[in-house]
Amino acid sequence: MSDAPSDVGELTITRTFEARPEVVFECMTTPAHLTHFWGPTGVSTPLANITVEPRPGGRFETVMVNDETGEEYPMRGVFVDFDPPRTLSFTEADVAGGMTTSITFNDLGDGRTETVTHQTNVPLMLMSAEAQAGLETSFVKMDAYLASL
């Protein structure tokens, strides 16, 4: 038996934006744009806290700041792929044992862009997917237990 992760969970978020891929990609990779939306709600990301080195191997780092408490949430990512305006991916070595986030920008051809954001190495995601599919009843029980906590 190996202790290496044998299977890992995934998270996929699909969104459609009213802008061309070039514009959406630029927004996702330019500090002056990122500062307006990197957020999330109740959290700001000052321009000075954003580093983007737009190339594979380049840094993608942000420090988000809680608007109320001033608490800081650093993200230290490294670009794996940087292929405007089609795809970008970055890894965060210090999250969950090394999480990778990939974003694909699909040109819908009518001025809109569909982004597919895919995160790998999120083990618990797999658990809940299995439970939903009823593949392993033990996980249904575990979910019930977790819900009762």
Partner 1 sequence: MPVAADPLSLTFAALADPTRRAILARLAEGEATVNELAEPFAISLQAVSRHLKVLEGAGLISRGRDAQYRPCHFEPAPLEAATAWIVRNRQIWTDRFDQLEQHLKRITNDKTKENQT
Q: How far is the CB of 124 from partner 1 (least distance, A)?
A: 5
Residue 97 CB, nearest approach to partner 1 (Å): 4
Residue whose C-alpha is closest to residue 54's, from 21, 35, 80 = 80
Please give the Cα distance from 29 to 38 (Å, whole number): 11
Question: Shortest Cβ distance from residue 77 to partner 1 (Å)?
Answer: 14
Nearer to partner 1, 40 or 46 (CB): 40
Tell how strand 10-17 and strand 113-120 pair up. Answer: antiparallel
Q: Is the Cβ of residue 63 or residue 95 nearer to partner 1 in the bound state?
A: 95
Q: Which residues bind partner 1 (CB under 8 A)?
A: 1, 3, 5-8, 11, 13, 15, 17-19, 23-24, 27-28, 33, 36-41, 93-98, 115, 117, 119, 121-125, 127, 136, 138-139, 141-142, 145-146, 149
Task: Report whether 73 contacts 43 (CB < 8 A).
Answer: yes
In Å, how far are 24, 49, 86, 115, 117 from 32, measured between CA atoms?
13, 11, 20, 20, 21
